[in-house]
Amino acid sequence: MDKRTEFFGWFKQQGLDNIELWLEEFELAEKGMEKAMINVALLYKQYGFFEEMYNLLTTVSEHKNSEAMYELANCYIEGLGGKGSEQQAFSLYKDAANLGHRDAMNNLADMYFNGEATEVDEKKAFLWFEKAAKHGVPEAMYTLGIMYEQGLGTQCNASLALEYYKRSADLQYAEAKYRLGMIFYSGELGQQQNDKEAIEWFRKASEHYHVDAIYNLGYCYEHGHGVIQDVDRAMTYYKQASMLGDREATKRIVIYYEQINLKEAAKWREKLESLESFKGFDEN
């Protein structure tokens, strides 16, 4: 059986669509087209065929293809198929970053920042986050905001911290939107405390299903911070947060219904108990 026929049979077994397009991609991969090889490798990854994935990504990585290096490093970090290590991932991220791969720059910076497969080195982390940010990586911009805010790897600079948070938020990074909400809610980084501005940022973060932002919207509506007090709307936000696993939001719902509807309170108390049980299991 030739490789094309073998791939066709495998593809049919998975019940996938667009078989003609993928057969063309497979044929290009067989001819050594690196982009096609990476695409087929990622298809194998999606369906758990890790040996085939590793073979393709390793081959392309040996050609100094930064995308293949980055994807192979990700697979090592995830420990797929029991292969690889953090040290191998670190080396691949570093090689890909030096070849200009922006996400590899960010991941390499993370490893320096957290001391993964290397010593903690905040200055090197800062430099690589800066490079990634210059290439438009919103996560890197957000982390630079943290580093400038806390003086990690650089001097504290409130205005630059705020600038990087805003740049990251402009690129739709949810954590940056939430952080800006907290900055205006608490009056941090030299900003005037401003509930209305905070709520706008919490709203923007909530569009990404950011659970803490959703909870905070509930809290603001419950207590009338920056908005007209509206307990019904507060409960709507608390219920959204609860559905995302937030225990504090669930507690607020239980407290509310204990005053007006004991049957409904019992239902939400059961939900709270399940969340608490899950928390205990998670910690073990």
Task: Give the side-chain half-sphere CA count within 13 A for 105.
Answer: 22
For the chain, domain boundaries: 1-90, 204-284
Distance (Å, whole) CA 257 – CA 91: 55
Taking 3-state DSSP, the helix, strand and coil percentages for the chain, each rounded to the nearest 5, stand at: 75, 0, 25
Tokens of 265: 């309170």
Mean predicted confidence (pLDDT) in 226-239: 97
Question: Confidence class of residue 284 from pLDDT cuts 50, 70 and 90?
Answer: very low
In the chain, % of residues over pLDDT 90: 86
Between 279 and 104, name the one with better pLDDT: 104
Q: Is there a contact between 169 and 205 (Cβ–Cβ < 8 Å)?
A: no
pTM for the model stands at 0.91
Q: CATH fold of 204-284, please?
A: 1.25.40
Span 59-84, pLDDT tens digits = 999 999 999 999 999 999 999 999 98
Angle at CA of residue 59, ends 55 and 65, nearest 5°: 130
pLDDT reported for residue 271: 95
Tell me what the mean pLDDT of segment 131-147 comes to: 98
Is the distance from CB of 142 to CB of 178 less than 8 angstroms?
Answer: no
**Angle, helices 34-46/19-30, rounded to nearest 10 degrees:** 130
257: enclosing H helix or E strand: helix 247-260
pLDDT category at 280 given cuts 50, 70, 90 is low
pLDDT reading at 283 higher than 80: no
Indicate whether 53 pLDDT > 90.
yes
Q: Tell me what pLDDT residue 1 has.
A: 58
Q: What's the mean per-residue pLDDT of the chain?
A: 94
